[in-house]
């Protein structure tokens, strides 16, 4: 299976614009926001897809993945460790990590971090 991640990310961007619980969001492209992790024993940098600020003032790192490979799993675990560390440190707001394997369910999954909820069901990708 080959995922059309560009189309999935475009659909995710539309949904982020439409979700009433999303205050603002940005595509993490050339922002310099990376999460360090180890890939086959070597230091690597993970660049998540989106950074979202919710109506609860939580920062959510959103990754859209069609298939969770070993590398994707290593990135997700690194992101979860980063979130735990930055939250424990304090002073940078509350951070969360969201791995989305079905982009049509992004709105529903984001509801966990928002006051206003997505109630339109799964988003149909076109």
Residue 112 has a pLDDT of 96
pLDDT (0 to 100) of residue 126: 55
**Distance between CA atoms of 32 and 47, rounded to whole angstroms?**
8
| pLDDT of the residue at 2 | 39
As a whole number of angstroms, the distance between CA 104 and CA 108 comes to 9
Q: What is the pLDDT of residue 3?
A: 47
The segments of the chain whose pLDDT lies below 50 read: 1-3
Q: What is the pLDDT of residues 98-117, one digit of tens each?
A: 999 888 889 999 999 999 99
SS3 45: strand
Q: What is the CA radius of gyration of the chain?
A: 14
Location of structure tokens 């791995």 = 99
Structural domains of the chain sorted by starting position, each given as residue range(s) with its CATH number in brackets: 5-113 (3.40.1350.10)
Can you point out the beta strands (E) in the chain?
Answer: 22-27, 35-39, 42-46, 50-54, 58-64, 94-100
Q: What is the pLDDT of residue 61?
A: 98
């Amino acid at each position: 299976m080959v995922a059309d991640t560009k189309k999935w990310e475009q659909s995710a961007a539309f949904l982020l614009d439409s979700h009433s619980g999303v205050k603002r969001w940005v595509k993490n492209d050339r922002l310099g926001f990376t999460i360090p992790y180890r890939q086959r024993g070597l230091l690597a940098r993970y660049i998540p897809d989106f950074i979202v600020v919710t109506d609860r003032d939580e920062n959510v790192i959103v990754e859209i993945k069609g298939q969770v490979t070993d590398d994707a799993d290593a990135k997700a675990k690194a992101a979860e460790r980063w979130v735990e560390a930055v939250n424990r440190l304090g002073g940078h707001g509350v951070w969360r990590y969201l791995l989305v394997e079905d982009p049509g369910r992004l709105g529903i999954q984001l509801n966990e971090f928002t006051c206003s909820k997505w109630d339109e069901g799964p988003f149909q990708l076109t």
